[in-house]
Structure 1
């Protein structure tokens, strides 16, 4: 018998283990854990392969649909459906009060009457809408805005108190419920604290990391200066340390001598920030910085959280406090002109699936474009998958 899925509703904040504002990387990492695979044995990821900034939907069959915002990949909306499906059995609660159960022997169906008893009065209509949560009596198809409009035009006498709830939708509350947009970015909330808000890239210098916290100071990482100890103090210990053994790219180095000892170094992997740091094995200072865009459908998808990088250009003068920037969803053509106007950068082909025979993708090949101090890895749809600073 499958384990019971016990979920509590927190209007405007989350459902069960899922908090609104959680990153896509965090949620998928959570679902991969062995203990959770019993509750969520089948996970489908849906996205637009032509755009890395359209929303991503996770289908956790049969009960849950999770909608993530397109730019920052944050959990925006949770949809709970098929409440009476016993595979696995589901118990839905609100403030320790059972609303619905599909557990054999203690079945309980959530009706319009039960919603009113638990949540109190609200606008009459086809759906019951409360701040941060609404209950639908249709399997699919109706939008929240349509629900609110139709609800205020319908009289209470036309509703059936014994209607069965087919879907429960949890989203953040806003000042104007009618103007809330399901495709908008998630409002800043406590679950984001400690995550990266923005990474400003300064070519030839390093990066400046801004975090979601009013008190946190930006962290500056300088190429050739910041040490491994500095990274540990500022960012905490890395999730992984990888000692580089692959030196195939050295064949392209013009300065390499036959008898020169190669400083292979080691990587500090901060998967939770979408950043790798290559550290010298002799001086232990940062030699290279790699930023990952976590593009759905790419070979590196889900290995790293999306890094919200922005490459900063040169200011027009000494008094320019807002130099131009190009962000992570900028197409390669614009970035190329931004970094090297009027020039065609050299390029190489890369296929990250060559060493992973079990991984097959419709478009696994990427191109590496070299600029002064920057290498961009670009997908076939002209989106930047990784940025490497050196």
Structure 2
């Protein structure tokens, strides 16, 4: 017997287990833990654009739209209310709006939510009800079934954030700060040869500064909590490129603090337990590292032009690798190496799995063939 998918509408906040403002990484992690409820999920995106909106199509009922820059849940669409594989029960507070026995119609929406503005859809703050199956309006509606028909059947329910008075929200724009973001990174400002300053939600939260060669493992735990994983460094293949024959001879004792939920790795010295390197991940769809880490919204800050320069120039995670490279080293071509992460994953094939490692003074960029930066390493 197929279990019923029970969802409740929270206008402007979410639907069922999904909260507006949640990160793509968090939602996919949630789905991974509920494969018995959501066995089929399609991830749709533009492979050539780092800031492409991402759609999770959870067959057959749900479409989740995530914003392009910060990968946060922007819009939830519940569709195919009459599809019984599985059946859906839709509730609002203590009222059952739709179930396998009850059809949601225009009159039922009006009785529950009250009057609304004229139009083909019923629009309320944070939620709307559509009578089109997939948002397509081909102008072939039956003349006996016009938009004011009380018994018109609702085909889709769309949940978004509530607009402020007079505000017009971009359907593909970013999500307004909300409680679902609390405790997550708002901005990671990189200073080369120094470290990174982390700003968190809510906006009045104190920043955390992590400095290479200074911040300790204890500092990280106090400021960021326990890492989700601790990984001991076993891969020393890069030492072959070192000019120092004895470089990292004690490398086996080094270890990573993996803050997957923040999109950051810290390489710690196994002897001093001080930060040696920082790796910030961009969570670019279609790459081998996609969904291993949450997108970290990093920015690399340049040097102030003078003592009065309060806002020095920056490049950001969504800028092209060549733009960032020119920012870091104007007029010079950095040395590069090829990396194929699928070499370590048997059975994993991707259309473009190879990336380039671009070396700069204190920074290494990992970039795709389409110039998207998937990670930045500070040392």
Q: Same fold (TM over 0.5)?
A: yes
Give the 5 Å matches for 1:241-390: 241-257=230-246, 260-262=249-251, 264-390=253-379
The change in CA–CA distance for 1:158 and 1:183 in structure 2 (over 3 A counts) is closer
Q: Is the 8 A contact 2:234 2:252 kept in 1?
A: no
SS at the partner of 2:230?
strand
Give the 5 Å matches for 1:59-208: 59-102=57-100, 107-141=101-135, 159-175=148-164, 179-208=168-197
Q: TM-score, normalised by structure 2?
A: 0.95
SS at the partner of 1:353?
helix
SS at the partner of 1:361?
coil
How far is the alpha carbon of 1:214 from its aligned partner? Answer: 3.7
Which residue is equivalent to 1:24?
A: 24
Which residue is equivalent to 1:10?
A: 10
Deviations 1:47-102 (A, max 9, x none): 00000101000000000000000000000000000011111111000012100002
Aligned equivalents of 2:236, 2:272: Cα separation in 1: 19
Give the alignment's Cα RMSD to 1 decimal. 1.7
Deviations 1:201-223 (A, max 9, x none): 00000000000124421000000
Which residue is equivalent to 2:47?
A: 49
Aligned equivalents of 1:109, 1:9: Cα separation in 2: 16
How far is the alpha carbon of 1:263 from its aligned partner? Answer: 5.4
Deviations 1:2-27 (A, max 9, x none): 22111000011100100000000000
Q: Is the 8 A contact 1:2 1:38 kept in 2?
A: no
Aligned equivalents of 1:125, 1:208: Cα separation in 2: 48
Consecutive unaligned residues of structure 1, counting only runs of 5 or more, are 144-149, 151-156
How far is the alpha carbon of 1:260 from its aligned partner? Answer: 4.5
The change in CA–CA distance for 1:262 and 1:175 in structure 2 (over 3 A counts) is closer
The change in CA–CA distance for 1:335 and 1:318 in structure 2 (over 3 A counts) is same
How far is the alpha carbon of 1:264 from its aligned partner? Answer: 4.3
Aligned equivalents of 2:136, 2:184: Cα separation in 1: 34
Consecutive unaligned residues of structure 2, counting only runs of 5 or more, are 140-145
Deviations 1:232-255 (A, max 9, x none): 000000000000111111111101
Deviations 1:91-114 (A, max 9, x none): 000012100002xxxx11000010
SS at the partner of 1:113?
helix
SS at the partner of 2:355?
strand
Q: Is the 8 A contact 1:3 1:38 kept in 2?
A: no
